[in-house]
Amino acid sequence: MDAPTAVLREGSNARFEIGFGLAEVTRLLRAHFDVRMRKLGLTTATWRALAYLSRQDGLTQAALAERLEISRVALGETVDRLEKSGHVERRADPADRRKWRVHLTPLSRELIPVMFATSDELQADCFRDLSEHELGLLQTSLERVRVRLAEMKIETPDEEAGS
């Protein structure tokens, strides 16, 4: 079976459609993963927090909230739930006692490989119709876009008004 070819609607902008498609793929991947994580007793907020901590354990609550793109209050509630369930512990920052750092517990360290195995299964199913060559092209293209976006300055509304 031939791979489907994307066809732009008349008057459509390829870059816009790609941006929309990336957002939609991300939303759908997260929704499918959410269902699988619920079987492990994790909500979207909790599995995402554990995933970020698995990459960089001991983040401050502020840094974790920033990465998750949620408010500090919402993150505090998530960490409260994770702490109560035994998945994380808060520790005072040794350099600044006003800050709290969030650390994985042994319970989470056992759970992380299960989360990643579940993710691998979902990814295999999701990308099964792409050849290794197509996967390589997709990975290279996305990395180039990611690097470009990381290099670009994000202007806040205040900065735009001052321009």
Show the domains of the chain with their CATH numbers: 41-119 (1.10.10.10)
Rounded average pLDDT over 41-63: 95
pLDDT digits (tens, 9 = 90+) for 15-38: 888 999 999 999 999 999 999 999
Rounded Cα distance between 37 and 161, Å, is 43
Rounded average pLDDT over 64-72: 94
Strands of the 59-60 sheet, one edge to the other = 59-60, 96-104, 88-93
pTM beyond 0.85: the answer is no
pLDDT of residue 1: 43
DSSP tag of 152: S
57, 103 Cβ separation under 8 angstroms: yes
pLDDT digits (tens, 9 = 90+) for 80-118: 999 999 999 999 989 988 899 999 999 999 999 999 999
pLDDT of residue 97: 84
Over the chain, what is the mean pLDDT? 90
113 vs 14, higher pLDDT: 113
14 vs 48, higher pLDDT: 48
pLDDT at 135 over 70: yes
pLDDT of residue 48: 94
